[in-house]
Structure 1
């Protein structure tokens, strides 16, 4: 098993999460804030099977 860390804008997080769940990926969502611009972000921790 591998861990993928994806950082996406909070406005896109729901669409990305829905697409991952539809394709049988499991994830943990963590709210985060960008550094310089202080924008809202979501960090997705996604578990994937090693191929």
Structure 2
């Protein structure tokens, strides 16, 4: 992920899925880029929330 917080995946990868045109929907993915992006997204959501509970 770059300094601007853009993941190295598309929006489907951020939620650990990959779009499957044959199924016409997103399916689970364990590809490395998707896992890294999902973990980063979780941290971006967690960290500010955790800070709020410490005040």
Same fold (TM over 0.5): no
Per the normalisation by structure 1, the TM-score is 0.28
> When you count helix as a share of all residues, which structure comes out higher?
2
Does 1 or 2 have the higher relative contact order (CA < 8 Å, sep 6+)?
1
> When you count strand as a share of all residues, which structure comes out higher?
1
Per the normalisation by structure 2, the TM-score is 0.27
